[in-house]
Amino acid sequence: MSAPTPHRANVPGDFYVEDGCCTMCGVPFGEAPELFGQCDDSRGYMHCFVKRQPQTTSELSDMLSALQFSEFECIRYRGTDRLIQLKLVELNCGEACDHLPTDLQQRVNRDVWKRRGFLAGLWAELGFGRAPEKPWWKFWR
């Protein structure tokens, strides 16, 4: 499975919104309005993006809340800060981390087995990341 691609409007940094994933659910704007923006995508639909990276612990908390409650795991973390990775794993959002260390990845894989069932768990355990089925909201890709 290919790695997620950040939307071009995201600012540089550890958090980003995956290109082609946003459904404009409104969750990021409710949880962290100061960190997210929206734009017209070149494909003709609205798309949210990270307009500013969190700078304070309060903003980081807001970002993690947006990531946790977003509907389709479109908000992702590509950083390597162990404390943030651990917090995301504890929130059952470890799959949103692009670079988990082995011990945390194994923990996420076990959680996938519990939440999604045998085939998705096996896929994750074999190191392929998320299960290969194309989510319904990515029908245009």
In a domain, 2, yes or no: no
Distance CA 114, CA 94 (A): 14
Distance CA 139, CA 126 (A): 26
Q: Please, are residues 100 and 94 in contact by the beta-carbon 8 Å criterion?
A: yes
The closest of 2, 58, 49 to 22, measured between CA atoms, is: 49
Query: What is the model's pLDDT at position 120?
Result: 60
Residue 87, domain extent: 15-138
In a domain, 9, yes or no: no
In a domain, 6, yes or no: no
Query: What is the model's pLDDT at position 31?
Result: 95
Can you give the pLDDT of all 141 residues of the chain as single tens digits?
A: 568 899 999 999 999 999 988 888 899 999 999 999 999 887 888 999 999 999 999 999 999 999 999 888 899 999 999 999 999 999 989 989 999 999 998 888 777 666 666 666 566 666 665 554 555 555 555
Query: What is the model's pLDDT at position 137?
Result: 57
Query: What is the model's pLDDT at position 118?
Result: 60
CB count within 10 Å of CB 140 equals: 8
Distance CA 70, CA 56 (A): 21
Query: What is the model's pLDDT at position 5?
Result: 92
Q: Count the domains in the chain.
A: 1
